[in-house]
Amino acid sequence: MNILVTGANGFVGQELIRILAKTQHRICGLDLEPGKAVLPKIFEKFYVQDITKKFNLNQSFDVVFHLAACNLTHVGKADRQKYYDVNAEGTKNLIESSKIRKFVFLSTAKVYQLLPGEINEASPVSPLSDYEKSKLEAEDVCRQYFSDDDLTIFRSVNIVGERQAEKAVIPVFFKNALAGKPLEIIGSGRTKAQLLYIEDLLDAVTLILNREKGCGIVNLAGEESIEILKLAEKVIDICRSASKIICTNTDAVIFPEISAEKIKRILGWQAKISVDEMLKRYFNFLRNNG
């Protein structure tokens, strides 16, 4: 198959490319800049493209994995227009740039309304931040162009992994703990998080790749949740650090628990990597690559 991966220089993009490199498919990449993508020799073609501007790739694709985004881990605060231009308008420009048979879009579980209890794909959406709103707008764009048979939208919880940039919570916690610096939690330490290990995400992607039809909207989440305070304590313990934990507050918070039963039912997918295993792997990665 002809496959296109956008955001090919990013954390998820590079990990996906590592998996696709083991297949016989023809792989193309797309990103703002050349030269950062892992294993560049596997690419049939690499497009250097700003997706906020209209463009034409002059090529058709059997599958497009659309990972390119302006997201919350980027340095600096993006304004509303930047999120919209990249995430919503950029998605439209990408779809119109080529003939595409199947489209896979990485969205976020944060589009759901903040309600206690279990959240499934039929739960109400009410994104709060500009980033989350732009992701939901991008989902709407996808659904204008594709039916559920041709489209998969992954509403994922926070993705973690060894090569993740030092902007997300686990890399930041480890960096500070190993340096003996305080682990700062903005907001309530009692906020809970569901995490998804990159390997589990890629398992879902592989299942989609081998499936003739799309799945529509599906949640991706581990079955385990953990308070941010407990997560910080685990990191300090693993690092044998003397770091202190600083919480802005310890107020009780609403915790929506994202259910991944739909994708389990359709594809047999289930997250396998526990939080403890994620932290162990990340620590070992740091020790071996320090």
Burial class (CB in 10 A: 0-12, 13-18, 19+), 176: buried
Average confidence (pLDDT) over 93-98: 97
pTM for this predicted structure: 0.93
Residue 246 in domain? no
Residue 244 in domain? no
Tokens of 96: 């119109």
What single DSSP character describes residue 87?
I
Question: Distance between CA atoms of 166 and 74, rounded to whole angstroms?
Answer: 10
pLDDT tens-digit readout, 167-209? 788 999 999 999 999 999 987 888 888 999 999 999 999 999 9
Structural domains counted in the chain: 1
**Residue 214 clears pLDDT 60, i.e. is over it:** yes
Residue 165 in domain? no
Residue 112 in domain? yes
239/73: higher pLDDT = 239
Residue 30 in domain? yes
Count of helices and strands (H, E) across the chain:
9, 14
Domain span at 211: 2-160+195-223+256-271
Average pLDDT, the chain: 91
| Start-to-end CA span in the chain (Å) | 38
Residue 168 in domain? no
216, 30, 95, 206 alpha-carbon torsion, rounded to 10° = -20
Tokens of 158: 């926070």
CATH number at residue 117: 3.40.50.720
Taken as a whole, the chain contains a residue count of: 290
Q: Tell me, what's the pLDDT at 74? A: 43
Residue 151 CA, chain-centre distance (Å), reads: 17
Q: Tell me, what's the pLDDT at 176? A: 95
Question: Distance between CA atoms of 220 and 196, rounded to whole angstroms?
Answer: 8
Residue 279 in domain? no
Residue 240 in domain? no
Q: Tell me, what's the pLDDT at 268? A: 95
**Residue 22 clears pLDDT 80, i.e. is over it:** yes
